[in-house]
């Protein structure tokens, strides 16, 4: 039997039961569109995260305090505070590939203005932090090195903080209280949006490092990290090596022992974020494909009903010479027609849903050719796998019994 003939027979059989065919396809339609939408959202998230990380500047290095898990407590004052402010000045002085370095301490605190209060992250740092992070001030000004030297009580606030403490009014020049310590707001940071890890980067207050350590954290508080800017992207590796050598020497780490700090460059972070997004995409797509499999079960169910209903027809076809494979193909083609029609409608639905989501929910969604091809092929495989059993059942009928079937 020719494929064209098989196609015609199947299409006619499917059109005879329009509503039933449509309901059966619905499972595949939903499955395919879910797969496309989920992959689209996953890839969209991945790309926007990559962009965000790239916008941090690709020549940035993060030096983080490492955990002290090596053989218990070492003697000396540096045993807990692995990174100290002196490390920062040493890095700037002794590492030729490094242009800027900014120490960072962090804490969370309740901030009060008038009768409003807001809990936010406090970052104590030096003015270079904003340069390294490529983070401009939109109004007011940044604190200066002098402010750091004299531990001035000044603060630069992020947009989220400004919105919560100063709704409808300018914030510059106002006095806020962080842990009861009064700080003068001198600058407002540009909006940054969500970070790669999903935190609101605008929910932050920057204060001079020294002020933070003296007033908010305690004199000997650890540096959480040092943000470093290498001269350019090509100097990243060298800068990393120089810092490693210097810090090992300063922290008196003997050769063979592990570093007590971690250096991350933006490329690493970008890779890590991208790969975790990839995992998320796979998880989302897998969940979506479950609905495709459920759709396949629906197809199998209807195909079995259809085979039973058409037992007599099968008997007649066999009586006039249809071979096993003729009947097998007829029903397999029918299942494939259902699945590919469902697949095409699902692709259209998936593209529209992604479109609507990115417009109304603001999620960037990337519908790729690969995800379309992948989900369509998956639908076809479902058609074959779940159509095979009913088709085989039909093809193995005994002609006499099939003809007698009422």
Partner 1 sequence: MAESRQIAVMDLYKTYFLDGIEVAAVQGVSFEISRGEFTAILGASGSGKSTLMNILGCLDRPTAGVYMLEGVDVARLSRDEMARIRNEKIGFVFQGFNLLPRTTALENAELPLYYKDGILAKEREMLAREALRAVGLVERERHYPGQLSGGEQQRVAIARALVNNPSIVLADEPTGNLDSKTGREIIEIFQDLNVKLKKTVIFVTHDQDIACFARRQVWLKDGVIIKDSTGVL
- The DSSP symbol for 254 reads P
Indicate which single residue of 320, 360, 362, 369 sits in contact with partner 1 (rule: CB under 8 A): 320
d(CA 314, CA 316): 5
d(CA 137, CA 134): 10
Angle among Cα 311, 317, 318 to the nearest 5 degrees reads 90
Is 15 a binding residue for partner 1 by CB under 8 A? The answer is no
332 lies in the binding site for partner 1 (CB under 8 A): no
Say how far apart CA 8 and CA 20 lie, in whole Å.
18
Q: Which of 104, 322, 332, 391 binds partner 1 (CB under 8 A)?
A: 322
Nearest to 226 by CA among 360, 81, 342: 81
- CB 379, CB 31: distance < 8 Å: yes
> Taking the CB of residue 276, how many other CB atoms lie within 10 A of it?
14
Nearer to partner 1, 381 or 400 (CB): 400
- Which 341-360 residues touch partner 1, going by CB under 8 A? none
Q: Which C-beta is closer to partner 1: that of 223 or that of 402?
A: 402
Locate all alpha helices (DSSP H) within 109-190, ordered by sequence. 128-132, 145-149, 159-165
Output the smallest distance, CB 287 to partner 1, in A: 42
Nearest to 167 by CA among 118, 237, 109: 118
> Exactly one of 206, 313, 335, 353 binds partner 1 (CB under 8 A); which one?
313
The piece of 167-175, 209-217, 322-330, 336-344 that touches partner 1 (CB under 8 A) is 322-330
Q: Among residues 1 and 90, whose Cβ is nearest to partner 1? A: 1
Cβ distance 358 to 365 under 8 Å?
yes
Taking CB under 8 A as the rule, does residue 317 contact partner 1?
yes
Nearest-angstrom CA–CA distance, 5 and 3: 5
Nearer to partner 1, 141 or 323 (CB): 323
27 binds partner 1 (CB under 8 A): no
Report in angstroms how near the CB of residue 280 gets to partner 1 at its nearest.
Answer: 51
Least distance from partner 1 to the Cβ atom of residue 9, Å: 8
Residue among 313, 326, 328, 317 at smallest CA distance from 387: 328
Neighbour tally for 51: CB within 10 Å = 12
Q: Is 1 in the site for partner 1 (CB under 8 A)?
A: yes
57 binds partner 1 (CB under 8 A): no
Q: Is residue 315 a contact point for partner 1 (CB under 8 A)?
A: yes
326 binds partner 1 (CB under 8 A): yes
Q: Please state the closest distance from residue 303 (CB atom) to partner 1, in A.
A: 19
Q: State how far the alpha carbon of 335 is from the alpha carbons of 373, 391, 396, in Å.
A: 19, 9, 17
- How many residues touch partner 1 under the rule CB under 8 A: the total is 20
Binding of partner 1 by 5 (CB under 8 A): yes
Q: Quick one: which segment of 100-108, 227-235, 297-305, 310-318 binds partner 1 (CB under 8 A)?
A: 310-318
Residue 400 binding partner 1, by CB under 8 A? yes
Which tokens belong to 406? Answer: 């009422």
**Closer Cβ to partner 1, 198 or 321, answer by number:** 321
Asked if 20 interacts with partner 1 (CB under 8 A), we say: no
Return the CA Rg of the chain. Answer: 33
Residues that bind partner 1 (CB under 8 A): 1, 5, 16, 312-313, 315-326, 399-400, 403
């Amino acid at each position: 039997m020719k494929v064209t003939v098989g196609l015609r027979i199947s299409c006619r059989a499917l059109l005879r039961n329009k509503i039933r065919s449509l309901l059966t396809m619905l499972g595949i339609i939903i499955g395919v569109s879910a797969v496309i939408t989920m992959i689209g959202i996953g890839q969209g998230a991945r790309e926007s995260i990559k962009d965000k990380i790239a916008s941090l500047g690709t020549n940035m290095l993060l030096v983080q305090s490492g955990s002290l898990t090596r053989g218990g407590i070492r003697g000396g004052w540096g045993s807990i505070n692995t990174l100290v402010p002196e490390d920062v000045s040493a890095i700037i002085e002794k590492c030729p590939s490094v242009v800027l370095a900014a120490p960072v301490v962090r804490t969370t605190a309740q901030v009060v203005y008038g009768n409003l209060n807001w809990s936010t992250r406090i970052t104590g740092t030096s003015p270079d932090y904003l340069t390294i992070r490529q983070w401009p001030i939109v109004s007011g000004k940044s604190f200066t090195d002098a402010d750091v030297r004299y531990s001035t009580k000044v603060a630069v606030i992020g947009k989220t903080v400004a919105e919560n403490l100063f709704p409808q009014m300018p914030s510059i020049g106002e006095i806020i209280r962080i842990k009861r310590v009064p700080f003068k707001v001198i600058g407002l940071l540009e909006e940054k949006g969500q970070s790669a890890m999903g935190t609101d980067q605008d929910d932050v207050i920057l204060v001079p490092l020294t002020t933070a350590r003296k007033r908010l954290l305690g004199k000997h508080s650890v540096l959480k990290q040092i943000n470093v800017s290498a001269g350019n992207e090509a100097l990243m590796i060298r800068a990393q090596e120089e810092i490693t050598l210097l810090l090992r020497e300063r922290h008196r780490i003997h050769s063979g022992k592990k570093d007590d700090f971690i250096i991350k460059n933006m490329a690493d972070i970008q890779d890590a974020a991208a790969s975790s997004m990839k995992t998320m995409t796979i998880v989302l797509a897998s969940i979506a494909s479950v609905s495709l499999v459920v759709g396949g079960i629906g197809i199998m169910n209807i195909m079995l009903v259809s085979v039973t209903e058409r037992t007599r027809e099968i008997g007649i076809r066999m009586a006039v010479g249809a071979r096993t494979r003729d009947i097998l193909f007829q029903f397999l083609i029918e299942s494939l027609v259902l699945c590919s029609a469902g697949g095409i409608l699902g692709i259209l639905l998936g593209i529209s849903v992604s479109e609507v989501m990115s417009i109304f929910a603001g999620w960037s969604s990337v519908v790729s050719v690969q995800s379309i091809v992948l989900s369509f092929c998956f639908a076809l495989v479902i058609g074959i796998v779940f159509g095979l059993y009913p088709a085989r059942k039909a093809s193995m009928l005994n002609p006499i019994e099939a003809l007698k079937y009422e």
